[in-house]
Each structure stands twice: as structure tokens, then as C-alpha cells.
Structure 1
Amino acid sequence: MIRVLLADDEATVRAGVRAILSADPGIEVVAEAADGHEAVALARSHRPHVALLDIRMPRLDGLAAVAEIRRAVPRTAVAVLTTFGEDAYIARALADGASGFLLKSGDPHELIAGVRAIADGAAFLSPRVAQRVITELSGDRLARADRARRRVAALTGREREVLALVGAGLSNAEIARRLFLTEGTVKSYVSTILNRLDVRNRVQAAILAHEAGLADGR
């Protein structure tokens, strides 16, 4: 059972997200918070697998809560509930250890898939927001693409295959099945890739894969 903490200062949003997640018998919303301080406290007490945090919350905003939860409960993966108007916060959330970005008004199946992927250790970028994430971080996109390709060129062929699948949002288990490897081997590959690319987490690796053209097969 995937245990989820849901934090949003709007009760109607929490109710909607909770209803979607509750449709999956493998997901349980174990706690809800209306502000960032409460979210951190509940993360410490409930130790959920995944914390879904809105960005704009009173007392302690979602971005500060991301960083605090990652420090206090490192085994809890944190995903940001976002809207199209909040692109400016993406880089900071990534730097603070967010594992994904889920669109509040997105497809319910996508929300469930995102929670499952993040709980399984994968990065997840809502497809409708993925390009905006990349654009926010890109600056000079051609220059960044060139730098990304040079960084990725240092990887072995197998490491690039794994990175491409990380960029596609696959979990370790899914990558293992796709490449006919053990899950432990994939975990080792991912750890090596993060170290060699000097990125902090799978989301940053996934974005680098997109920038280098790996995730879309170029």
C-alpha cells in the first residue's frame, strides 16, 4: 500500500485529489495538511511514501516544505502539485529534491500513475508540464542541449539506455523488464549515472536526458 500525504490550503483541491487517489486500491491518503508547517509535522509522524505538496500555502510555502521534508524524512519522496502559472518555482523545487511535478487539473489516470512511479523511485513529470519544466531550466536551449550531449557522451552505451528510460519516467522495475536486467542492476546503473552526470536526483537526470535528446529517441 502506497501511503500518501496531501497538502494544499484549498479544501476542495484536497478533496478532489483524495477522491482520485482513493480510486486506486493500492494508494491510501494517510494525512492531509492545509499549510506547510502542518505538512512537515505530518510527514514526520506518518512517514508516508509520497508527499504531494501545493506550492502556495500559508505559514510555510510548499517549496520550503519540500526542502524540510527531504531533510527530516529522506525516505519520503516529494512531488509538487502545480499549475501552468507556477513555472518560476520549478528550478528551486528541483534543487530542493522534488521527485516530480503533477498537474492539479490533469488526467486522473496520470495523477495515479505519477504517484505510483514516484513511490517506486522514479522521476515523474506530467507530460503536459514536462516541456515547460525543460523550458524553465533551459535558458539558451541550443547551448544547454550541446552541453547535455557532451555530458551524456561520457556514459557507456548501456548507461545511456538506462538514462533514456529514466527520462521517459520509467521506474527501476520497469527499466529492468525493458532491458532484461535485474532491478538491483538497474539501481546500480542509476546511482552511477547520477554520480557521473553530477545531478542530485532522477528528475534532474530526466531533464538532462530530454535536453540531450535521449528521451525522445534522437
Structure 2
Amino acid sequence: MASEEVVLLDCWASMFGMRVRIALAKKGVHYECIEQNLAHKSPLLLEMNPIHKKVPVLIHNNKPICDDAYQRAQARFWADFIDKKVYDAAWKIWRTKGEEQEGAKKDLIENLKVLENELGDKTYFGGETFGFLDVALVTYYSWFYTLEKLGNLSIEAECPKLIAWAKRCLQIESVSKSLPDSKKVLDFVLGLKQRMGI
């Protein structure tokens, strides 16, 4: 795609795509619409929306959203991913047993690996500065010990870069003073399980 080009990956019947088309028309933005076959998703769609693999996707300057808010929107996207995917898997690990728990463990590790990949070799998710996305995820770190004990897994063995990132975050006073002791979280969850008859 050429610089300054606006592209919309869409499916004509998508009500969500219609919203984007209305907004673009109202703003007078010229764009190329690339119709998507949702039964056979294009490589471009999978590249631009690798997590949800859904339309619509608005691409500006080869990025899946407008440049000005790109970093903030990316952070919000990943925070939402954490609060849905990571939370749901973590919740199921301590609330279920057997096959359902095994599935939750697999989901948790897969989701954490996605986040570890997003972190890459950066110090923090935003680069060299501790920011919004780091705050969104580091709060889960105090629960990792509980998930490991109750789920019989090792997050550090599966996601060592993520654990190294969490330990860097703990060197920040505001983080270390705000997170509860991991063993206290385990005691809390064991008490919850007992009260709930799990």
C-alpha cells in the first residue's frame, strides 16, 4: 500500500463495517474498500487483525488504525485482550477441574505467549517507559503463583520473557507497593474455593 493510503477491509453485509463506511463518508475520506470473504480470510486481514481476524479493519499508512492514536489504541486493544482472554482463562483455572481446567491452562499459556510476543525485546510494552499496558498486565502477576499451584503449571517455564518483564515492573516502587503478596492471594483463593464448595 502506498503512503497516506486509506484502506478498509470489510464485508458488505457487516453492520460494523457500515458504521465505518458512514463515518468515512461523513468525513469525506477517500479510501479503497477491499471486500473480504469471511469463509476464506485474506492474508492481509490476518496480518492486520491477527487476534480477532474480523472485519472491519481500517488501515492508514500500513497500520490497522489511524497514526495519531496508534500507540494508545494498540494499548487499549491489548488491555482489552488481557481483561477478556487472560482473565477468563485464569478464572477457569481456579474454578474448574479436569478437562475444563486443562483447556483453561492451555488458553492461559497461549494468551500469555501472544502477549510475550507483543512485548518482544522491549523493556516495557510501550518501549523504555512503563505505561498503560504494563499496568493492565502486571496486576495479574500477583495471581500467577496461585494459578501455578492450582493448575499445576509453570508460567515462568512457558513465558520466561514475560516473567522477566514482571520482575522489572516490580522494581518500580508504585508497582511493588501496590501488588499483594502472591501467597496471600493463594490463601484468599483457597478460602473462596472452600466457601463456594469448589
TM-score bracket for the superposition, by shorter chain length:
0.3 to 0.5
Give 1 or 2: higher helix fraction.
2
**TM-score in terms of structure 2 length:** 0.33
TM-score by structure 1 length?
0.31
Greater fraction strand:
1
